[in-house]
Structure 1
Amino acid sequence: MQTFYVAMDETDHSLRGLAMGQNLAAQLDAALAVVSVVTDPAQAEGRRDALRARLGEEKTPAFDAIPIEVLMGDSAKEVLARLAGQEDVGLCMGAHGRRPVPEMLIGSVTAGVVRRASRPVLLCGPRYAPERHARVEVVMVCVDGSSLSEAMLPHAVALAGRFGARLQLLQVIDASAMAAAAGEGGPGDVMESGYVHGLARRLEREHDIEVDWEVLHGSPADAIVSYLADSRDVMLAMTTHGRSGLSQVVAGSVSHEVLHEACCPVAVLRPRN
Protein backbone atom coordinates (compact mmCIF):
# COMPACT_ATOMS: atom_id res chain seq x y z
CA MET A 1 0.00 0.00 0.00
CA GLN A 2 1.44 3.34 -1.04
CA THR A 3 -1.18 5.58 0.58
CA PHE A 4 -3.47 5.26 3.57
CA TYR A 5 -6.55 7.44 3.30
CA VAL A 6 -8.52 8.19 6.45
CA ALA A 7 -12.17 9.00 5.79
CA MET A 8 -13.06 11.86 8.13
CA ASP A 9 -15.81 14.14 9.19
CA GLU A 10 -15.72 16.27 12.33
CA THR A 11 -16.56 13.51 14.84
CA ASP A 12 -14.42 11.76 17.43
CA HIS A 13 -14.81 8.30 15.89
CA SER A 14 -13.25 9.49 12.66
CA LEU A 15 -10.23 10.67 14.67
CA ARG A 16 -9.77 7.07 15.83
CA GLY A 17 -9.44 6.16 12.19
CA LEU A 18 -6.70 8.76 11.87
CA ALA A 19 -4.75 7.21 14.75
CA MET A 20 -4.98 3.83 13.03
CA GLY A 21 -3.95 5.28 9.68
CA GLN A 22 -0.91 6.95 11.26
CA ASN A 23 0.27 3.66 12.74
CA LEU A 24 -0.20 1.68 9.53
CA ALA A 25 1.41 4.32 7.32
CA ALA A 26 4.38 4.65 9.67
CA GLN A 27 5.04 0.91 9.58
CA LEU A 28 5.10 0.80 5.78
CA ASP A 29 6.66 4.24 5.31
CA ALA A 30 3.58 5.05 3.22
CA ALA A 31 1.82 8.34 2.57
CA LEU A 32 -1.07 9.38 4.79
CA ALA A 33 -3.96 11.65 3.82
CA VAL A 34 -7.38 12.62 5.12
CA VAL A 35 -10.24 12.24 2.65
CA SER A 36 -13.78 13.60 2.72
CA VAL A 37 -16.60 13.69 0.17
CA VAL A 38 -18.93 16.55 -0.77
CA THR A 39 -21.69 16.68 -3.34
CA ASP A 40 -21.12 20.27 -4.46
CA PRO A 41 -17.72 21.69 -5.49
CA ALA A 42 -18.68 24.91 -3.72
CA GLN A 43 -18.57 22.98 -0.43
CA ALA A 44 -15.02 21.73 -0.87
CA GLU A 45 -13.12 24.65 0.64
CA GLY A 46 -15.46 24.86 3.62
CA ARG A 47 -15.12 21.14 4.31
CA ARG A 48 -11.33 21.35 4.07
CA ASP A 49 -11.24 24.31 6.47
CA ALA A 50 -13.55 22.54 8.93
CA LEU A 51 -11.40 19.41 8.94
CA ARG A 52 -8.21 21.42 9.32
CA ALA A 53 -9.77 23.21 12.30
CA ARG A 54 -10.86 19.86 13.79
CA LEU A 55 -7.35 18.50 13.48
CA GLY A 56 -5.98 21.68 15.02
CA GLU A 57 -8.15 21.16 18.10
CA GLU A 58 -6.13 18.05 18.90
CA LYS A 59 -2.95 20.14 19.31
CA THR A 60 -0.87 17.37 17.72
CA PRO A 61 1.90 18.88 15.57
CA ALA A 62 1.99 15.88 13.25
CA PHE A 63 -1.62 16.54 12.24
CA ASP A 64 -0.68 19.90 10.72
CA ALA A 65 1.27 18.22 7.93
CA ILE A 66 -1.42 15.72 6.90
CA PRO A 67 -2.90 16.63 3.51
CA ILE A 68 -6.68 16.85 3.24
CA GLU A 69 -8.30 15.73 -0.01
CA VAL A 70 -11.93 16.61 -0.70
CA LEU A 71 -13.55 14.46 -3.38
CA MET A 72 -16.76 15.15 -5.29
CA GLY A 73 -19.64 12.74 -5.68
CA ASP A 74 -23.35 12.24 -5.17
CA SER A 75 -22.70 9.34 -2.78
CA ALA A 76 -19.90 9.31 -0.21
CA LYS A 77 -20.35 5.54 0.05
CA GLU A 78 -19.71 5.02 -3.67
CA VAL A 79 -16.75 7.42 -3.82
CA LEU A 80 -15.03 5.90 -0.79
CA ALA A 81 -15.73 2.34 -1.94
CA ARG A 82 -14.01 3.06 -5.26
CA LEU A 83 -11.06 4.49 -3.36
CA ALA A 84 -10.90 1.40 -1.13
CA GLY A 85 -10.89 -0.80 -4.23
CA GLN A 86 -7.55 0.52 -5.44
CA GLU A 87 -4.74 -1.97 -4.85
CA ASP A 88 -2.20 0.58 -3.64
CA VAL A 89 -4.64 2.22 -1.19
CA GLY A 90 -5.70 1.38 2.34
CA LEU A 91 -8.94 3.06 3.41
CA CYS A 92 -9.19 3.60 7.18
CA MET A 93 -12.46 4.40 8.91
CA GLY A 94 -13.51 4.77 12.53
CA ALA A 95 -16.72 3.04 13.59
CA HIS A 96 -19.41 4.40 15.88
CA GLY A 97 -19.82 3.03 19.38
CA ARG A 98 -23.59 3.13 19.49
CA ARG A 99 -25.88 0.17 20.10
CA PRO A 100 -28.00 -1.81 19.43
CA VAL A 101 -28.73 -1.27 15.72
CA PRO A 102 -25.67 -2.52 13.81
CA GLU A 103 -25.81 0.14 11.11
CA MET A 104 -25.81 2.78 13.85
CA LEU A 105 -22.96 0.96 15.54
CA ILE A 106 -20.56 1.17 12.64
CA GLY A 107 -22.13 4.18 10.95
CA SER A 108 -24.32 4.21 7.86
CA VAL A 109 -21.56 5.53 5.59
CA THR A 110 -19.05 3.00 6.91
CA ALA A 111 -21.54 0.16 6.45
CA GLY A 112 -22.29 1.35 2.92
CA VAL A 113 -18.60 1.51 2.01
CA VAL A 114 -18.02 -2.03 3.29
CA ARG A 115 -20.99 -3.28 1.27
CA ARG A 116 -19.67 -1.73 -1.93
CA ALA A 117 -15.88 -2.09 -1.67
CA SER A 118 -14.11 -4.82 -3.63
CA ARG A 119 -11.22 -4.94 -1.14
CA PRO A 120 -11.10 -4.93 2.67
CA VAL A 121 -11.85 -1.70 4.52
CA LEU A 122 -9.71 -1.06 7.60
CA LEU A 123 -11.91 -0.27 10.58
CA CYS A 124 -11.41 0.54 14.24
CA GLY A 125 -14.10 0.54 16.89
CA PRO A 126 -14.65 2.52 20.09
CA ARG A 127 -12.20 0.37 22.09
CA TYR A 128 -9.36 0.68 19.61
CA ALA A 129 -6.04 1.09 21.45
CA PRO A 130 -3.43 2.54 19.08
CA GLU A 131 -0.64 2.30 21.65
CA ARG A 132 -1.16 -1.48 22.00
CA HIS A 133 -1.44 -2.02 18.27
CA ALA A 134 1.12 0.41 16.93
CA ARG A 135 2.28 -2.16 14.36
CA VAL A 136 0.91 -5.19 12.58
CA GLU A 137 2.99 -8.22 13.56
CA VAL A 138 0.21 -10.78 13.21
CA VAL A 139 -2.73 -10.91 10.79
CA MET A 140 -5.42 -13.10 12.33
CA VAL A 141 -8.07 -14.21 9.86
CA CYS A 142 -11.37 -15.73 11.02
CA VAL A 143 -12.55 -18.80 9.10
CA ASP A 144 -15.47 -21.14 9.69
CA GLY A 145 -15.41 -23.53 6.75
CA SER A 146 -17.63 -21.39 4.55
CA SER A 147 -16.70 -19.90 1.19
CA LEU A 148 -17.77 -16.54 2.62
CA SER A 149 -15.12 -16.59 5.34
CA GLU A 150 -12.44 -18.03 3.05
CA ALA A 151 -12.91 -15.15 0.59
CA MET A 152 -10.78 -13.11 2.99
CA LEU A 153 -7.78 -15.45 2.69
CA PRO A 154 -6.11 -13.94 -0.42
CA HIS A 155 -6.45 -10.48 1.09
CA ALA A 156 -5.14 -11.66 4.48
CA VAL A 157 -2.13 -13.28 2.81
CA ALA A 158 -1.45 -10.03 0.95
CA LEU A 159 -1.80 -7.95 4.13
CA ALA A 160 0.57 -10.23 6.01
CA GLY A 161 3.08 -9.95 3.18
CA ARG A 162 2.90 -6.17 3.03
CA PHE A 163 3.35 -5.75 6.77
CA GLY A 164 5.92 -8.53 7.11
CA ALA A 165 3.51 -10.10 9.59
CA ARG A 166 2.76 -13.65 10.64
CA LEU A 167 -0.51 -15.15 9.37
CA GLN A 168 -2.76 -16.96 11.83
CA LEU A 169 -6.08 -18.68 11.21
CA LEU A 170 -8.80 -18.58 13.88
CA GLN A 171 -11.74 -20.97 13.95
CA VAL A 172 -14.44 -20.90 16.62
CA ILE A 173 -16.30 -24.08 17.56
CA ASP A 174 -19.52 -23.29 19.40
CA ALA A 175 -20.94 -25.40 22.22
CA SER A 176 -23.76 -26.92 20.16
CA ALA A 177 -21.32 -28.16 17.50
CA MET A 178 -19.10 -29.73 20.14
CA ALA A 179 -22.08 -31.43 21.77
CA ALA A 180 -23.18 -32.86 18.43
CA ALA A 181 -19.70 -34.21 17.73
CA ALA A 182 -19.53 -35.78 21.20
CA GLY A 183 -22.96 -37.34 20.73
CA GLU A 184 -21.82 -39.00 17.52
CA GLY A 185 -18.81 -40.46 19.30
CA GLY A 186 -16.36 -38.62 17.06
CA PRO A 187 -12.79 -37.78 18.07
CA GLY A 188 -13.58 -34.22 19.15
CA ASP A 189 -10.15 -32.60 19.14
CA VAL A 190 -9.17 -34.13 15.80
CA MET A 191 -12.49 -33.18 14.21
CA GLU A 192 -12.21 -29.64 15.52
CA SER A 193 -8.69 -29.03 14.29
CA GLY A 194 -8.81 -30.95 11.00
CA TYR A 195 -10.33 -28.17 8.91
CA VAL A 196 -8.18 -25.28 10.08
CA HIS A 197 -4.99 -27.39 10.17
CA GLY A 198 -5.60 -28.54 6.60
CA LEU A 199 -6.34 -25.00 5.47
CA ALA A 200 -3.13 -23.74 7.04
CA ARG A 201 -1.07 -26.40 5.26
CA ARG A 202 -2.76 -25.57 1.95
CA LEU A 203 -1.91 -21.89 2.30
CA GLU A 204 1.68 -22.76 3.15
CA ARG A 205 2.00 -24.81 -0.04
CA GLU A 206 0.29 -22.25 -2.27
CA HIS A 207 2.02 -19.12 -0.94
CA ASP A 208 5.28 -20.46 0.50
CA ILE A 209 4.58 -18.91 3.90
CA GLU A 210 4.29 -20.17 7.45
CA VAL A 211 0.74 -20.20 8.79
CA ASP A 212 -0.30 -20.70 12.42
CA TRP A 213 -3.77 -21.72 13.51
CA GLU A 214 -5.91 -21.80 16.63
CA VAL A 215 -9.27 -23.37 17.48
CA LEU A 216 -11.36 -21.39 19.95
CA HIS A 217 -14.48 -22.46 21.82
CA GLY A 218 -17.69 -20.63 22.65
CA SER A 219 -19.88 -18.13 20.85
CA PRO A 220 -17.84 -16.71 17.94
CA ALA A 221 -17.84 -13.03 18.89
CA ASP A 222 -17.11 -13.63 22.57
CA ALA A 223 -14.40 -16.18 21.86
CA ILE A 224 -12.62 -13.93 19.37
CA VAL A 225 -12.78 -10.87 21.63
CA SER A 226 -11.53 -12.89 24.60
CA TYR A 227 -8.65 -14.29 22.55
CA LEU A 228 -7.69 -10.76 21.48
CA ALA A 229 -7.92 -9.33 25.00
CA ASP A 230 -4.20 -9.54 25.77
CA SER A 231 -2.95 -9.25 22.21
CA ARG A 232 -0.53 -6.67 20.90
CA ASP A 233 0.31 -5.55 17.37
CA VAL A 234 -2.47 -7.53 15.71
CA MET A 235 -4.80 -6.93 12.79
CA LEU A 236 -7.96 -9.04 12.65
CA ALA A 237 -9.35 -9.91 9.22
CA MET A 238 -12.89 -11.14 8.69
CA THR A 239 -15.72 -11.18 6.20
CA THR A 240 -19.29 -9.99 6.57
CA HIS A 241 -22.46 -10.74 4.66
CA GLY A 242 -23.09 -6.99 4.74
CA ARG A 243 -26.80 -7.05 3.92
CA SER A 244 -28.67 -3.79 3.99
CA GLY A 245 -31.90 -3.00 5.75
CA LEU A 246 -32.75 -2.89 9.42
CA SER A 247 -34.24 -6.40 9.25
CA GLN A 248 -30.79 -7.79 8.60
CA VAL A 249 -27.57 -7.46 10.57
CA VAL A 250 -25.78 -4.87 8.51
CA ALA A 251 -22.20 -5.73 9.42
CA GLY A 252 -22.84 -9.37 10.25
CA SER A 253 -23.72 -10.41 13.81
CA VAL A 254 -20.19 -11.58 14.58
CA SER A 255 -18.19 -8.91 12.79
CA HIS A 256 -20.09 -5.98 14.26
CA GLU A 257 -19.80 -7.35 17.81
CA VAL A 258 -16.10 -8.01 17.37
CA LEU A 259 -15.55 -4.56 15.92
CA HIS A 260 -17.35 -2.97 18.86
CA GLU A 261 -15.19 -4.78 21.44
CA ALA A 262 -11.81 -5.30 19.76
CA CYS A 263 -8.91 -3.01 20.61
CA CYS A 264 -7.05 -3.83 17.36
CA PRO A 265 -7.61 -2.80 13.72
CA VAL A 266 -10.16 -4.95 11.88
CA ALA A 267 -10.00 -5.51 8.12
CA VAL A 268 -13.55 -6.20 6.93
CA LEU A 269 -14.55 -7.54 3.53
CA ARG A 270 -17.96 -8.16 2.02
CA PRO A 271 -17.27 -10.75 -0.70
CA ARG A 272 -18.87 -10.18 -4.07
CA ASN A 273 -21.29 -12.80 -5.32
Structure 2
Amino acid sequence: MRRILVPTDFSEEARNAYEVAVSIARRTGAAIKLLHVVEAPYYGPSFSVTGDAMVGSNGMEQVYMLRLLEHTKAKMSELLGSVLRDGVEVVEEVTVDRPINKIRRTIKEDAVDLVVMGSKGSSGLDEFLIGSNTEKVVRTADCPVLTVKNRMADFHPREIVLASDFKREIRSAMEQFKQFQQLFGARLHMVYINTPGAFESSSNLRSKLQYTAEKYGLENYTINIYNDVMEEDGILHFAHDISADMIMMATHGRTGLSHLLSGSIAEDLVNHTRIPVLTVQLK
Protein backbone atom coordinates (compact mmCIF):
# COMPACT_ATOMS: atom_id res chain seq x y z
CA MET A 1 0.00 0.00 0.00
CA ARG A 2 1.59 3.24 -1.19
CA ARG A 3 -1.12 5.93 -1.36
CA ILE A 4 -4.09 6.67 0.90
CA LEU A 5 -6.71 9.29 0.02
CA VAL A 6 -8.64 11.00 2.83
CA PRO A 7 -11.45 13.24 1.52
CA THR A 8 -12.49 15.62 4.29
CA ASP A 9 -15.34 18.02 5.03
CA PHE A 10 -13.76 18.98 8.40
CA SER A 11 -16.47 17.16 10.35
CA GLU A 12 -15.66 15.13 13.46
CA GLU A 13 -16.12 11.92 11.48
CA ALA A 14 -13.73 13.12 8.77
CA ARG A 15 -11.12 13.97 11.40
CA ASN A 16 -11.56 10.47 12.85
CA ALA A 17 -10.98 9.04 9.37
CA TYR A 18 -7.76 11.04 9.04
CA GLU A 19 -6.54 9.64 12.37
CA VAL A 20 -7.29 6.08 11.21
CA ALA A 21 -5.47 6.74 7.92
CA VAL A 22 -2.38 7.86 9.86
CA SER A 23 -2.50 4.63 11.90
CA ILE A 24 -2.61 2.58 8.68
CA ALA A 25 0.15 4.66 7.06
CA ARG A 26 2.45 4.01 10.04
CA ARG A 27 2.11 0.27 9.39
CA THR A 28 2.42 0.39 5.62
CA GLY A 29 4.69 3.37 4.92
CA ALA A 30 1.98 4.85 2.70
CA ALA A 31 1.69 8.56 1.94
CA ILE A 32 -1.61 10.35 2.66
CA LYS A 33 -3.41 12.96 0.60
CA LEU A 34 -5.94 15.09 2.49
CA LEU A 35 -8.47 16.39 -0.01
CA HIS A 36 -11.18 18.99 0.47
CA VAL A 37 -13.44 19.83 -2.45
CA VAL A 38 -15.35 23.10 -2.38
CA GLU A 39 -18.62 22.46 -4.18
CA ALA A 40 -18.41 24.21 -7.54
CA PRO A 41 -21.19 26.76 -8.09
CA TYR A 42 -22.90 26.76 -11.46
CA TYR A 43 -22.54 29.97 -13.40
CA GLY A 44 -23.37 28.64 -16.84
CA PRO A 45 -21.41 26.94 -19.64
CA SER A 46 -18.60 29.54 -19.66
CA PHE A 47 -17.72 29.08 -15.99
CA SER A 48 -14.52 27.19 -15.14
CA VAL A 49 -11.93 27.01 -12.39
CA THR A 50 -8.18 27.30 -12.99
CA GLY A 51 -6.27 26.90 -9.75
CA ASP A 52 -7.81 29.50 -7.47
CA ALA A 53 -9.06 31.67 -10.33
CA MET A 54 -12.71 31.70 -11.30
CA VAL A 55 -13.06 32.15 -15.05
CA GLY A 56 -16.42 33.31 -16.33
CA SER A 57 -17.74 34.50 -12.96
CA ASN A 58 -18.30 38.12 -12.05
CA GLY A 59 -16.17 40.12 -9.61
CA MET A 60 -18.32 39.51 -6.53
CA GLU A 61 -18.44 35.80 -7.20
CA GLN A 62 -14.66 35.68 -7.55
CA VAL A 63 -14.16 37.54 -4.28
CA TYR A 64 -16.56 35.20 -2.48
CA MET A 65 -14.89 32.06 -3.82
CA LEU A 66 -11.36 33.29 -3.12
CA ARG A 67 -12.28 34.14 0.47
CA LEU A 68 -13.96 30.75 0.84
CA LEU A 69 -10.82 29.01 -0.44
CA GLU A 70 -8.64 31.04 1.91
CA HIS A 71 -10.85 30.09 4.88
CA THR A 72 -10.87 26.45 3.78
CA LYS A 73 -7.07 26.29 3.51
CA ALA A 74 -6.82 27.64 7.06
CA LYS A 75 -9.11 24.84 8.25
CA MET A 76 -6.99 22.32 6.35
CA SER A 77 -3.85 23.55 8.13
CA GLU A 78 -5.66 23.20 11.45
CA LEU A 79 -6.69 19.63 10.58
CA LEU A 80 -3.13 18.73 9.56
CA GLY A 81 -1.85 19.75 12.96
CA SER A 82 -4.61 18.02 14.93
CA VAL A 83 -3.18 14.49 14.54
CA LEU A 84 0.31 13.37 15.58
CA ARG A 85 1.81 12.09 12.33
CA ASP A 86 5.15 10.63 13.53
CA GLY A 87 6.91 11.09 10.20
CA VAL A 88 3.95 9.97 8.03
CA GLU A 89 4.00 11.91 4.76
CA VAL A 90 0.83 13.99 4.33
CA VAL A 91 0.06 16.35 1.47
CA GLU A 92 -3.02 18.53 1.22
CA GLU A 93 -5.20 19.72 -1.63
CA VAL A 94 -8.06 22.21 -1.62
CA THR A 95 -9.89 22.63 -4.90
CA VAL A 96 -13.20 23.68 -6.44
CA ASP A 97 -15.13 20.92 -8.18
CA ARG A 98 -17.96 18.43 -7.80
CA PRO A 99 -16.81 16.30 -4.84
CA ILE A 100 -17.57 12.84 -6.25
CA ASN A 101 -16.03 13.71 -9.63
CA LYS A 102 -12.82 15.02 -8.08
CA ILE A 103 -12.51 12.05 -5.73
CA ARG A 104 -12.91 9.57 -8.58
CA ARG A 105 -10.34 11.39 -10.73
CA THR A 106 -7.87 11.55 -7.85
CA ILE A 107 -8.20 7.80 -7.22
CA LYS A 108 -7.30 7.15 -10.85
CA GLU A 109 -4.65 9.83 -11.41
CA ASP A 110 -2.81 9.23 -8.12
CA ALA A 111 -3.14 5.42 -8.28
CA VAL A 112 -4.76 5.46 -4.82
CA ASP A 113 -4.65 2.13 -2.96
CA LEU A 114 -7.15 2.97 -0.21
CA VAL A 115 -9.74 5.67 0.49
CA VAL A 116 -10.48 6.39 4.16
CA MET A 117 -13.63 8.49 4.67
CA GLY A 118 -15.73 9.68 7.54
CA SER A 119 -19.43 8.85 7.39
CA LYS A 120 -22.24 10.59 9.22
CA GLY A 121 -24.82 8.22 7.77
CA SER A 122 -28.21 9.26 6.44
CA SER A 123 -31.75 8.05 6.84
CA GLY A 124 -35.29 8.40 5.57
CA LEU A 125 -36.05 10.32 2.38
CA ASP A 126 -32.55 11.82 2.15
CA GLU A 127 -31.01 8.34 2.13
CA PHE A 128 -33.48 7.07 -0.48
CA LEU A 129 -33.19 9.99 -2.90
CA ILE A 130 -29.58 11.08 -2.66
CA GLY A 131 -27.40 9.24 -0.20
CA SER A 132 -24.12 10.73 0.95
CA ASN A 133 -20.87 11.42 -0.88
CA THR A 134 -19.42 8.54 1.14
CA GLU A 135 -22.05 6.18 -0.28
CA LYS A 136 -21.26 7.36 -3.80
CA VAL A 137 -17.56 6.70 -3.28
CA VAL A 138 -18.31 3.24 -1.84
CA ARG A 139 -20.44 2.53 -4.91
CA THR A 140 -18.01 3.74 -7.57
CA ALA A 141 -14.41 3.67 -6.28
CA ASP A 142 -11.96 1.40 -8.08
CA CYS A 143 -10.00 0.83 -4.87
CA PRO A 144 -10.99 -0.35 -1.36
CA VAL A 145 -12.88 2.21 0.76
CA LEU A 146 -12.75 2.24 4.56
CA THR A 147 -15.54 4.22 6.21
CA VAL A 148 -15.13 5.50 9.76
CA LYS A 149 -17.47 7.17 12.25
CA ASN A 150 -16.04 6.86 15.76
CA ARG A 151 -12.65 8.04 16.95
CA MET A 152 -9.95 5.33 17.12
CA ALA A 153 -6.62 6.88 18.06
CA ASP A 154 -4.80 3.58 17.52
CA PHE A 155 -6.67 1.73 14.79
CA HIS A 156 -5.83 -1.96 15.20
CA PRO A 157 -8.74 -4.28 14.39
CA ARG A 158 -8.34 -7.73 15.93
CA GLU A 159 -11.73 -9.27 15.11
CA ILE A 160 -12.84 -8.75 11.50
CA VAL A 161 -16.15 -9.90 9.98
CA LEU A 162 -16.09 -10.95 6.33
CA ALA A 163 -19.73 -11.09 5.22
CA SER A 164 -20.56 -12.54 1.81
CA ASP A 165 -22.55 -15.10 -0.14
CA PHE A 166 -19.11 -16.50 -1.10
CA LYS A 167 -19.97 -16.99 -4.76
CA ARG A 168 -17.25 -17.32 -7.37
CA GLU A 169 -17.20 -13.59 -8.21
CA ILE A 170 -15.77 -12.72 -4.78
CA ARG A 171 -12.36 -13.92 -5.99
CA SER A 172 -11.53 -10.41 -7.28
CA ALA A 173 -11.85 -9.03 -3.74
CA MET A 174 -10.36 -11.84 -1.64
CA GLU A 175 -6.71 -10.77 -1.98
CA GLN A 176 -7.63 -7.30 -0.73
CA PHE A 177 -9.43 -8.82 2.26
CA LYS A 178 -6.48 -11.10 3.04
CA GLN A 179 -3.99 -8.22 2.88
CA PHE A 180 -6.02 -6.17 5.35
CA GLN A 181 -6.35 -9.11 7.74
CA GLN A 182 -2.62 -9.85 7.56
CA LEU A 183 -1.71 -6.18 8.00
CA PHE A 184 -3.19 -6.26 11.51
CA GLY A 185 -2.78 -9.96 12.33
CA ALA A 186 -6.53 -10.10 12.91
CA ARG A 187 -8.84 -13.08 13.21
CA LEU A 188 -11.23 -13.34 10.27
CA HIS A 189 -14.84 -14.38 10.90
CA MET A 190 -16.40 -15.57 7.65
CA VAL A 191 -20.16 -15.31 7.94
CA TYR A 192 -23.06 -16.25 5.68
CA ILE A 193 -26.41 -14.74 6.67
CA ASN A 194 -29.12 -17.35 6.18
CA THR A 195 -32.45 -15.63 5.50
CA PRO A 196 -35.96 -17.11 5.04
CA GLY A 197 -36.08 -15.95 1.43
CA ALA A 198 -32.81 -17.66 0.45
CA PHE A 199 -32.50 -20.43 3.00
CA GLU A 200 -29.85 -23.14 2.64
CA SER A 201 -28.91 -26.00 4.92
CA SER A 202 -26.14 -25.27 7.41
CA SER A 203 -24.11 -28.29 6.26
CA ASN A 204 -24.09 -27.10 2.63
CA LEU A 205 -23.16 -23.57 3.65
CA ARG A 206 -20.32 -24.72 5.93
CA SER A 207 -18.92 -26.79 3.07
CA LYS A 208 -19.10 -23.75 0.77
CA LEU A 209 -17.30 -21.50 3.26
CA GLN A 210 -14.67 -24.12 4.06
CA TYR A 211 -14.00 -24.59 0.34
CA THR A 212 -13.61 -20.80 -0.07
CA ALA A 213 -11.19 -20.58 2.88
CA GLU A 214 -9.02 -23.37 1.50
CA LYS A 215 -9.15 -22.09 -2.07
CA TYR A 216 -7.80 -18.68 -1.09
CA GLY A 217 -5.36 -19.93 1.55
CA LEU A 218 -7.02 -18.16 4.47
CA GLU A 219 -5.48 -18.49 7.92
CA ASN A 220 -6.71 -17.62 11.42
CA TYR A 221 -10.40 -17.72 10.52
CA THR A 222 -13.74 -19.01 11.76
CA ILE A 223 -16.75 -20.21 9.74
CA ASN A 224 -20.19 -18.99 10.78
CA ILE A 225 -23.78 -19.46 9.61
CA TYR A 226 -26.06 -16.82 11.13
CA ASN A 227 -29.85 -16.87 10.81
CA ASP A 228 -31.73 -13.58 10.54
CA VAL A 229 -34.66 -12.01 8.74
CA MET A 230 -32.52 -9.71 6.54
CA GLU A 231 -28.88 -9.82 5.46
CA GLU A 232 -28.00 -6.36 6.75
CA ASP A 233 -29.55 -7.05 10.16
CA GLY A 234 -27.79 -10.39 10.35
CA ILE A 235 -24.38 -8.86 9.63
CA LEU A 236 -24.89 -6.15 12.25
CA HIS A 237 -26.16 -8.61 14.87
CA PHE A 238 -23.33 -11.06 14.24
CA ALA A 239 -20.73 -8.28 14.39
CA HIS A 240 -22.21 -7.12 17.70
CA ASP A 241 -22.26 -10.67 19.11
CA ILE A 242 -18.53 -11.19 18.53
CA SER A 243 -17.54 -7.57 19.38
CA ALA A 244 -16.13 -7.06 15.89
CA ASP A 245 -13.68 -4.22 15.24
CA MET A 246 -14.35 -4.05 11.49
CA ILE A 247 -16.64 -5.42 8.78
CA MET A 248 -15.44 -6.28 5.26
CA MET A 249 -17.77 -6.64 2.28
CA ALA A 250 -17.68 -6.67 -1.49
CA THR A 251 -19.99 -4.37 -3.45
CA HIS A 252 -21.23 -4.61 -7.02
CA GLY A 253 -20.94 -0.88 -7.65
CA ARG A 254 -24.29 -0.60 -9.41
CA THR A 255 -25.49 2.87 -10.41
CA GLY A 256 -28.58 4.44 -11.90
CA LEU A 257 -31.83 2.49 -12.10
CA SER A 258 -30.11 -0.82 -11.31
CA HIS A 259 -28.87 0.60 -8.02
CA LEU A 260 -32.25 2.15 -7.19
CA LEU A 261 -34.00 -1.18 -7.70
CA SER A 262 -31.48 -3.51 -6.08
CA GLY A 263 -29.87 -1.28 -3.47
CA SER A 264 -26.64 -2.21 -1.76
CA ILE A 265 -26.14 -3.98 1.57
CA ALA A 266 -22.64 -2.50 1.78
CA GLU A 267 -23.95 1.06 1.48
CA ASP A 268 -26.68 0.36 4.04
CA LEU A 269 -24.04 -0.90 6.48
CA VAL A 270 -21.94 2.21 5.94
CA ASN A 271 -24.99 4.27 6.89
CA HIS A 272 -26.24 2.27 9.85
CA THR A 273 -23.28 0.93 11.83
CA ARG A 274 -20.67 2.61 14.01
CA ILE A 275 -18.18 -0.15 13.17
CA PRO A 276 -15.63 0.68 10.44
CA VAL A 277 -16.59 -0.93 7.11
CA LEU A 278 -14.11 -1.86 4.38
CA THR A 279 -15.74 -2.26 0.97
CA VAL A 280 -14.13 -3.62 -2.19
CA GLN A 281 -15.85 -3.29 -5.55
CA LEU A 282 -16.17 -6.54 -7.49
CA LYS A 283 -14.56 -6.34 -10.92
TM-score normalised to structure 2 length: 0.71
Structure 1 unmatched runs, 5+: 182-187
Shift of 1:174: 0.7
Distance 1:44 1:27 in 2: 38
Shift of 1:110: 2.7
Q: Which residue of 2 aligns with 1:62?
A: 84
Could you say if the C-alpha distance between residues 191 and 199 of structure 1 is closer, same or farther in structure 2, counting changes exceeding 3 Å?
Answer: same
Q: Which residue of 2 aligns with 1:256?
A: 267
Distance 2:35 2:161 in 1: 28
Q: Which residue of 2 aligns with 1:91?
A: 115
SS class of match (2:225): strand
Q: Which residue of 2 aligns with 1:166?
A: 187
Shift of 1:221: 0.7
Shift of 1:222: 0.8
Q: Which residue of 2 aligns with 1:113?
A: 137
Could you say if the C-alpha distance between residues 10 and 77 of structure 1 is closer, same or farther in structure 2, counting changes exceeding 3 Å?
Answer: same
The range that moved more, 156-165 or 218-227, is 156-165
Letter in 2 for 1:70: E
Distance 2:83 2:139 in 1: 35
- Counterpart contact for 2:247–2:276, Cα < 8 Å: yes
Q: Which residue of 2 aligns with 1:185?
A: none
Shift of 1:198: 1.3
Q: Which residue of 2 aligns with 1:189?
A: 202
SS class of match (1:53): helix
Q: Which residue of 1 aligns with 2:35?
A: 35
- CA deviation map 1:40-67 (0-9, x unaligned): 410699547425437748994638x984
Q: Which residue of 1 aligns with 2:100?
A: 77
The range that moved more, 140-149 or 92-101, is 140-149
Shift of 1:24: 2.9
Q: Which residue of 2 aligns with 1:238?
A: 249
Q: Which residue of 1 aligns with 2:72?
A: 50
Distance 2:156 2:130 in 1: 25
Higher-Rg structure is 2
1:144 aligns with 2:168: no
Shift of 1:215: 1.6
* RMSD value, Cα: 3.7
Q: Which runs of 4+ in 1 moved over 6 A?
A: none
Shift of 1:173: 0.9
Letter in 2 for 1:214: N
Distance 1:61 1:251 in 2: 39
Percent identity of equivalent pairs: 18
- How many residues align? The count is 256
Could you say if the C-alpha distance between residues 250 and 29 of structure 1 is closer, same or farther in structure 2, counting changes exceeding 3 Å?
Answer: farther
Q: Which residue of 2 aligns with 1:220?
A: 231
- Counterpart contact for 1:111–1:242, Cα < 8 Å: no
**Counterparts of residues 128-139 of structure 1 (less than 5 Å):** 128=150, 130=152, 134-139=155-160
- Counterpart contact for 1:97–1:105, Cα < 8 Å: no
Q: Which residue of 1 aligns with 2:25?
A: 25
**Counterparts of residues 3-14 of structure 1 (less than 5 Å):** 3-14=3-14
- Counterpart contact for 2:114–2:143, Cα < 8 Å: no
Distance 2:255 2:115 in 1: 21
Shift of 1:122: 1.3
Shift of 1:78: 3.9
- CA deviation map 1:126-158 (0-9, x unaligned): xx4536x83122443222033454432121012
Q: Which residue of 1 aligns with 2:212?
A: 199
Q: Which residue of 1 aligns with 2:198?
A: 177
Letter in 2 for 1:24: I
- Counterpart contact for 1:173–1:220, Cα < 8 Å: yes
